[in-house]
Structure 1
Amino acid sequence: MEQLGLIADIGGTNARFALTPIRNIEAGGDLVLAESDLIAPTALNGAEYGTILEAIEAYLAGPAKDYPRPEHSVMAIACPTDQDQITMTNHTWAFKVSELKATLGFNTLKFINDYNALANAIPQLDENSLIKVGRGEAVKGKPIAVTGPGTGLGLAALAFSDVGPVTLETEGGHAHFAPTNHVEIDILSFLLTKYERVSNERLISGMGLENIYQALAAKAGNESQLTAPEISKAALDKSDALCEQALAHFCAICGSYAGDVALTIGAKGGVYITGGIIPRFIEYFKLSDFRARFEAKARLSGFVEDIPTFVVVAEQPGLLGSAAVLNHMLNHA
């Protein structure tokens, strides 16, 4: 039996675990993994476990009990991972990586940011896991960018070298929002009454859709408060004109931001949109102003118009990316 490693994708609600095969990567060759290669993928409710150690041991003693105990692990987690001490932002778990590694008896234990995992998943995804929006073709070996609205707005990039992919973890979702027309200037003006600083995340996320709607409502003299799911539902069934405007602006602003990402990173390998929001209205998104605004870069439009944009619809990209990181790490140790 081939060697197996433990991988995880840990968020504020669910802690997803699986086992991954450890494969030899030939010199100059590419890693080939698929979601179907992952063994015993399982989602545990994090609230049911007092510590991350309890959750890991529950997985190893349960869904993974019929397999040899792994010695190596990479875990993606939705919080900063640059220190030995990890304290989750949206969960009660807090721990030291060094102590956890020793207690588990692992030879290798590495925690990575959730968008690091998403970036590393992209080269392993097949065409069924991606929905292309607009024109352009990815250039093999050129950098890729991964971003997208969810609870927040993450951003990572992947560059390629002779010793495998190099991940760039960023906080680019918190860069300043740049309005491109008078309506967006009005939205920015409204948000400046709520926030000291208005970042892209304030508009391109679940709360972002709500912020856009509130700004448009205030302009119209309407004080109604709706949640993001309520706004998108009313927009899609065309029952509320203000909700329709909010969703349209949301998609357009997302396009401008994604185009800025492509310019900043030189993402000739493509820009990949992740997160749980956009797949809920993918057909609307494909027909929105997203791609037109992605390409609307005046003198630099020629740079971005051939860069493809994709929406990621894979089931377990976080686990797949963690598996890729673990394989590359062990092959180049």
Structure 2
Amino acid sequence: MKKNSFLFSAKGILIAGVLSLNTVMYAQKTADISTISEKTLSSILEKNRTYYAQGKVADYIPELGKMDAKAIAFSVVDKNGKVFNSGDVQKKFTMQSISKIIALMVAVNEKGEANVFDKMGYFGSDRPFNHFSNLETTGKPLNPMMNAGAILTTSLISGDGEKPFLKILDMVRYITKNSTIDYSKSVYESEKSTGHRNRGMFYLMKNNGLISGNEDQLDNYFKQCSIELTAEDLAKIGYFFANQCVRYDGNSTYKNAEIAKLIESQMLTAGMYEFSGEYSRTVGLPSKSGVGGGITVSVPGKMGIGVFSPALDQHGNSLAGYHMILDLVKQYNLSIF
């Protein structure tokens, strides 16, 4: 063997050895996701329980302000559809903005992606969820995750009266395999009586020719936001979109890889309001929050996560919920990046 060949061979062996060592060290730092258990969740939950004291329960909708700030729950549905729970998993809360991803799925299934996004953008969010953004300039909502885009999305679902809302409710019941899920009439009435800003968006879009119906369509939006569920239900929703719209029990009635990609991409770029960019850096997973205190998370191809804690940060995201997700992501290296 020539001297140079020997040197290159030795160098190759050295590099391979270093890479192997790094792989081993990396594996040691990263836990196997098959080891996730209720004990894991309980440990993370207890570590982050006190974050509620630094947040604030949403009260701009009076009924939401009645929620117990100390309530907290953590749920995971693993790759095999097995459910792990910790905390106040029986505690119900309203979906609020999390309902937007379900409405988007229903609208796109009916009208097609091109027809829906002809009326709104794919843009990320850098403004609060209830911002008018460019409605008054270009006339179109930034994306379907902000209130304006979500109101428009729901108005695109076919059917008179509350039929569009019932389609959204039925889809939530199907995905979670929970037929008892319904909406809170008291929260709905509270949202309707105080939702003047959303009403302004509705009429601005109606003025721009994007919406042709009446306030029944806006009522459907208020109702979908008022759907009540649990952290476990949110984990099942996260699982559904993480696995090409296949339900946690393997039911593939709505299997559609493209719809799943669309929903997950919207969750990643705009699902956490104006915190979405920073959240993508820290957590790196498609997620959707709601001011009711819930967050649903999709770990693509792997699992779904659901958290609940009603005390919110300045962006409208669950404070303890975010930190629970962040700890789980770090422990199991779940970020897609």
- TM value normalised by structure 1: 0.27
Structure (1/2) with the larger helix percentage: 2
Larger radius of gyration: 2
> Which structure has more RCO (C-alpha within 8 Å, separation ≥ 6)?
2
**Greater strand percent: which structure?**
1
* Length-normalised TM-score, structure 2: 0.27
